Amino acid sequence: MRVVTNAATEAAEPHLAFLVAAVDAVPSAELKVWDDVTPEALLDDDGQPRADAVMLRGALITPHLLSACDLAGIRIVGVAHTPDDDSNLERLRLRERVTTPLERESVRRALGLGGPAVVGAASEPFADEVPAVTSLRAASAPVSVPTSTPASTGRNVVVWGPVGSSGVSSMALALAGCATDAGLSTLVVDAHVYGGAQSGLLNLFDEAPGIAAACRLAARDTLSSDELRRVAATVTHGRDSLAVLTGIPEAQRWTELSPDSVRTVLSTARASWDVSVVDVAFCLEEDEEISSDLFAPRRNGATLACLAEADVVVGVAGCDSLSLSRYILAMPRLREIIGNTPVVTVVNRLRPSAAGLAPEASVRETLQRFAGIGDALCVPDDADLLDRALVSGLPATWVTHRGRYVSAVRAVFERVSGSWAVPSQVSA
């Protein structure tokens, strides 16, 4: 393992060099002390990472460096030595951290190398007499990174809408809020390949895209429940809490979300959370129909993979005639992909100005007549509440527990949870 730090971090913890020696199951380990750890310095001329892990004072870690490490598949660990270190690590929501003076077990966990702890043994600070070194080697067998996950018990709820559907992402977030209110551990997965919205809805603008980091770990066959929790951000409000895998902020990064990796992420999430609410893109087209290269990456592959892994799909349509027609026309294709998976149809932002004086009766009649959907649920428009939720960076169902919008979303969640047996909590 190649671990990189810098002189400032080494000075804060004189025995930082001993961190690799504490990992006694690594056959070859090397600690390098650089003058400055920058995103550009992490890659060689061929674009390959120069390090497997970076360990820096918390105050020295920037969003740019955090994102660069995620992109390169490099683990980054913050060292909390001063209040400024703690403050910056909290702002960046970097979960992997150690506190000075360093302890052997905490370093092992932070580096993801685990190893069974001795029952009853206390964590031991590094000894004062250990000299600083720059290269360390051990002769024992390597630790294998766990790639299998425990028995899957969680559920995947995929929220989808055709092109032009309004409020798909906010509906996904509101349903996640309902799940936490029901006492279920909940993960929001932003798998939108045309640019994720969840980070913006939750004011997580400084977060590196968690879904991309998770997919990279899955592609390297090193994704575990612990690793998935590490790359997921946590949003809390009072007693409410949910985890979020933030999405790619730019559409051109869609290649980072391969179908196989996305499936592995959702499978791993089942073992860690009771409910995973997945926000996906609108397009259901199979790209190979228009491509001459059958082995090229498929832009919509991640969306199709999420839908194939769904236990229930929440289909979101607008209440106006254009949105309804697009939803109705897309339903046959959706059914081809998901088979007999239950679909809960939601007509979102229902308002008389777009659907007439009796909007609920009108949209129900349209869906029944042209699509055979007789059990659609309607969610009334509440622009003020959604604006407040956006400003506060919270699910709308956390901002208030009253009102027609919240009651309607709760009815949607009750329909969703009624389509499968609510699992017992799988997280500690």
In this structure, what CATH number is given to the domain that contains residue 55?
A: 3.40.50
Residues 121 and 191 in one domain: no
The pLDDT score that the predictor gives to residue 389 is: 95
Answer whether residue 143 is part of any domain: no
Sorting pLDDT into bands at 50, 70 and 90, what band is 25? very low
Residues 73 and 190 in one domain: no
Answer whether residue 232 is part of any domain: yes
> What is the pTM (predicted TM-score) of this model?
0.67
The pLDDT of residue 416 is above 60: yes
The pLDDT of residue 59 is above 80: yes
Rounded to the nearest angstrom, the gap between the alpha carbon of residue 125 and the centroid of all alpha carbons in its chain is 34
Answer whether residue 142 is part of any domain: no
Residues 199 and 255 in one domain: yes
Q: Residue 360: is it exposed, middle or buried by C-beta count within 10 angstroms (0-12/13-18/19+)? A: middle
Last residue of a domain, one of 136, 170, 194: 136
* pLDDT one-digit tens code per residue, 176-199: 999 999 999 999 999 999 988 999
Q: Which residues contact 372 (CB under 8 A, 6 or more apart)?
A: none
The CA distance from 393 to 89, in Å, is 19
Answer whether residue 122 is part of any domain: yes
Answer whether residue 90 is part of any domain: yes
* pLDDT one-digit tens code per residue, 267-315: 999 999 999 999 999 999 875 555 544 445 578 999 999 999 999 999 9
Residues 77 and 223 in one domain: no
Residues 95 and 167 in one domain: no
In the chain, the number of structural domains is 2
Q: Using alpha carbons only, how large is the chain's radius of gyration in Å?
A: 24
* pLDDT one-digit tens code per residue, 373-390: 999 999 999 999 999 999
Residues 120 and 179 in one domain: no
Last residue of a domain, one of 136, 170, 190: 136
Residues 130 and 193 in one domain: no
Sorting pLDDT into bands at 50, 70 and 90, what band is 148? very low
Answer whether residue 384 is part of any domain: yes
- 273 close to 426: Cβ distance less than 8 angstroms: yes
The pLDDT score that the predictor gives to residue 19 is: 56
Residues 215 and 271 in one domain: yes
Phi, psi of 160 (to 5 degrees): -135, 155
Tokens of 371: 């699509």
CATH of the domain at 371: 3.40.50.300
**Alpha-carbon torsion, ordered 96, 54, 9, 88, to 10 deg:** -40
In sequence order, the β-bridge partners of residue 278 are 158, 189
Residues 228 and 377 in one domain: yes
Last residue of a domain, one of 101, 136, 171: 136
Q: Specify the DSSP class assigned to residue 213.
A: H
77 or 70, higher pLDDT:
77
Which of 5-14, 75-84, 167-176 has the lowest average pLDDT?
5-14
Answer whether residue 75 is part of any domain: yes
Q: Specify the DSSP class assigned to residue 255.
A: G
Residues 110 and 222 in one domain: no
Q: Which residues contact 166 (CB under 8 A, 6 or more apart)?
A: 318, 323, 348, 349
In sequence order, the β-bridge partners of residue 5 are 33
DSSP track, 379-417: EE--HHHHHHHHHHTS-HHHH-S-SHHHHHHHHHHHHHH
Answer whether residue 427 is part of any domain: no
Host domain of residue 12: 2-136
Pairing type for strands 155-160 and 377-380 reads unpaired
